Amino acid sequence: MNEIEALLEELKLKYPGKRLVPGEGELTARVMLIGEAPGEQEEKLSRPFVGKAGRNLDEMLALGGIPRNALYVTNTVKLRPTSPGKGARLKNRPPAASEISDFLPLLEAEVHLIRPRLIVTLGNTPLKALLGAKARIGDIHGTLTKYADANIYPMYHPASLIYTPSLKPVYEAEAVRLGELIKKLDIV
């Protein structure tokens, strides 16, 4: 069992009754992409970024000409954060600070084991988890920041485009730039 698997087992005990969604991809991947947390479809299939979020991600990667199977794809928090919705349904909510801190050692273990050259964070949650509360996506999206042996390339979360469509052209241009960056670094 590697460190990632061991930490996942510990977290399963801490969150009984929750299905965890592990990261997906080759441990030799040079690019790691980190989202916020799984949604309903991800929880159902136990895979990150499937369903609508997965289609959005695939569109973004297509803009940059980046094959998804070249990436290791994971989330800051590996469980679906929920609150009561209509009737018996559950609705998604942002991860709580306690969930983010509980899952941080696992995220750090993924970074240390995979040793990516480039880490793409989507939205504020993974950015703040890795760089601290002061880091803000609005300030540093599309720029490179050093983290461990890697660079972080922060991007807006695709879900934020639903609420703020004016971000879309910036997001798309940054997806194209991500593809160029990956080619330049010759890492896929």
Structure tokens, 45 = 């299939």
Q: How many residues does the chain have?
A: 188
Which residue number is nearest to ligand URA in terms of Cβ? Answer: 35
Token pair recorded at residue 50 = 């499937």
How many residues lie near ligand URA (CB under 6 A)?
11
Minimum distance of ligand URA from residue 183's CB (angstroms): 25
Coil/strand/helix, residue 18? coil
Residue of 128, 71, 57 whose CA lies nearest to 97: 128
Give 37 or 167: the residue with its C-beta nearer to ligand URA: 37
Element (H, E) at 119: strand 118-122
CB 161 within 8 A of CB 167: yes
Pick the binder of ligand URA from 23, 25, 38, 116 (CB under 6 A).
Answer: 38
Q: Which is nearer to ligand URA, 42 or 102 (CB)?
A: 42
Q: Rule CB under 6 A: choose which of 23, 25, 32, 35 binds ligand URA.
A: 35
Q: Which of 24, 36, 99, 110 binds ligand URA (CB under 6 A)?
A: 36
Residues 133-172 that bind ligand URA (CB under 6 A): none
Report the sign of the C-alpha dihedral through residues 120, 122, 126, 132, in that order: positive
Q: Which residues bind ligand URA (CB under 6 A)?
A: 35-39, 42, 48-49, 53, 75, 122
